Chain A
Amino acid sequence: MSGNKENLIESNVISSENTEISDTSCEKTEKKPNRFIFCLKKIKPSKRKIIQLYSALLFNANLKGFKTGIIYQGSAKNLCCPGINCYSCPGANTACPLGSFQNAMTSADKSTVFYIFGIILLYGLLAGRWICGWLCPFGLIQELLYKIKTPKVRKSKITRVLSYFKYVVLIFFVFIIPILYSFRNTPVPAFCKYICPAGTLEGAMGLLSNKVNESSLRMLGPIFTWKFLVMVSIIVGCVFIFRLFCRFLCPLGLLYGFFNKISIFGIKLDKPKCVDCGKCISKCKMDIRHVGDVECISCGECIDVCPTKAISFKGSKILLLDNEISGQNSAVSGQTDSENDQITDTASTKKQKMPIEKKRKIFKTALYSVMAVLLVGSLVYFNFIHKNPQIPEGSEIGDKCYGMDIPLYDENGLTENTFNVADNGGKITVINFWGTWCGPCVAELPHFNDVASEYKDSVTVLAIHSSRMNSTATSFINENYPDSNILFGKDFPNESGKMFDPEIYYTLLGGSNNQYPMTLIIDDKGIIRNHYIGSITHEELVDDIEKLLK
Chain B
Amino acid sequence: MSQEKLRKLHLIYGIALSCIIVITGICFIVSCIDIYKSGMRPFTYESINKHFAAIIVPVILCITGIVGGMVLSFFSLEKPKIKGIIDTGVALNKISKRFDVSKLDSEAQEKIKKEQRLRLLTNVFCIDAITVSAIISLVYTLNKNNFPAKDLNGEVISAMLFIIPCAIVAIGAIFATILICSASYARELDFLKQGIKNSGKQAAVDTQQEKTDSNCEKILIGARLSVLIIAITFIIIGIFNGGMADVLQKAVNICTECIGLG
Interface residues of A (CB under 8 A from B): 6, 9, 12-14, 16, 19-23, 26, 38-39, 42, 71-75, 77-78, 80, 86-88, 94-96, 99-100, 103-104, 107, 109, 111-119, 121-122, 124-125, 148-151, 157-158, 160-162, 164-165, 168, 172, 176-177, 180-181, 183-184, 186, 188-190, 192-194, 196, 199-200, 203-204, 207, 211, 214, 216-229, 232-233, 235-236, 239-240, 259, 261-262, 264, 276-279, 281-283, 289-290, 305, 437-440, 443, 468-469, 499-500, 513-516, 534-535
Contacts and interface: CB of A to CB of B under 8 A. Distances in A.
Contact of B262 (A161, A276, A443): A443
Interface stretch (B102-110, B117-125, B241-249): B241-249
Contacts of A158: 175
A100 B247 contact: yes
B160 to A, nearest CB: 8
A73 B252 contact: yes
Interface in B4-47: 10-11, 13-15, 17-18, 21-22, 24-25, 28-29, 32-33, 36, 41-45
Contacts of A236: 21-22, 24-25
Contacts of A19: 83-86
A440 B259 contact: no
B174 A161 contact: yes
A111 B240 CA distance: 10
A49 to B, nearest CB: 15
Interface string B58-84: 000000001001101110100101111
Given A39-B74, A150-B14, A224-B261, A122 B232 contact: yes
A149 B13 contact: yes
A239 B254 contact: no
Contacts of B235: 114-115, 118-119, 122
17 contacts: A72-B252, A88-B254, A95-B250, A104-B246, A115-B239, A116-B243, A164-B171, A176-B141, A193-B260, A220-B43, A220-B261, A221-B262, A222-B153, A227-B259, A276-B90, A469-B246, A500-B252
Contacts of A117: 234, 238
Nearest 4 pairs between A and B by C-beta? A115-B238, A118-B234, A149-B69, A440-B262
Contacts of B90: 276, 289-290
B62 to A, nearest CB: 9
A115 B251 CA distance: 14
B220 interface: yes
A372 to B, nearest CB: 26
B21 A192 contact: no
A160 B87 CA distance: 13
Contacts of A259: 227
B91 interface: yes
B244 to A, nearest CB: 5
B135 interface: no
B252 A16 contact: no
A181 B149 contact: yes
Contacts of A151: 11, 14-15, 18
B10 A149 contact: yes
A437 B231 CA distance: 25
B79 A149 contact: no
A125 to B, nearest CB: 5
A14 B193 contact: yes
Contact of B258 (A125, A189, A515): A189
B84 A277 contact: yes
Interface of B: 10-11, 13-15, 17-18, 21-22, 24-25, 28-29, 32-33, 36, 41-45, 48, 66, 69-70, 72-74, 76, 79, 81-87, 90-91, 94-95, 98, 137-138, 141-142, 144, 147-149, 152-153, 156, 159, 163, 167, 170-171, 174-175, 178-179, 182, 189, 192-193, 196-197, 220, 223-224, 227-228, 230-239, 241-262
Contact of A222 (B14, B36, B192, B238): B36
Contact of A217 (B45, B147, B182, B239): B45
Nearest to B250: A103
Given A149-B14, A278-B85, A111 B242 contact: yes
B84 A20 contact: yes
Contact of B28 (A232, A240, A499): A232
Nearest to A169: B167
B261 A199 contact: no
A188 B224 CA distance: 33
A221 B36 contact: yes
B258 A500 contact: no
Contacts of B171: 161-162, 164-165
A224 B260 contact: yes
B241 A114 contact: yes
A111 B77 CA distance: 56
B246 to A, nearest CB: 4
A422 to B, nearest CB: 28
B246 A109 contact: yes
Given A214-B45, A513-B254, A515-B253, A161 B178 contact: yes
A177 B247 contact: no
A217 B43 contact: yes
A282 B254 contact: no
Nearest to B134: A171
A42 B83 contact: no
Given A121-B230, A121-B234, A276-B91, A199 B259 contact: yes
A86 B260 CA distance: 12
Contacts of B159: 172, 177
Given A96-B251, A114-B235, A290-B87, 17 more contacts: A16-B86, A16-B91, A26-B81, A80-B247, A86-B255, A88-B254, A115-B246, A116-B243, A121-B234, A199-B258, A203-B255, A211-B45, A217-B48, A223-B153, A227-B259, A228-B32, A500-B249
B98 A9 contact: yes
Contact of B250 (A21, A99, A277): A99
B18 A113 contact: no
Contacts of B259: 86, 88, 199-200, 203-204, 207, 224, 227
Contacts of B245: 499
Report which residue of B33, B45, B167, B252 has the largest number of chain A beta carbons within 10 angstroms of its beta carbon.
Answer: B252
Contact of A116 (B69, B152, B247): B247
A406 to B, nearest CB: 20
Nearest to B222: A262
B34 to A, nearest CB: 10
A121 B223 CA distance: 12
Given A73-B252, A95-B248, A118-B231, A192 B86 contact: no
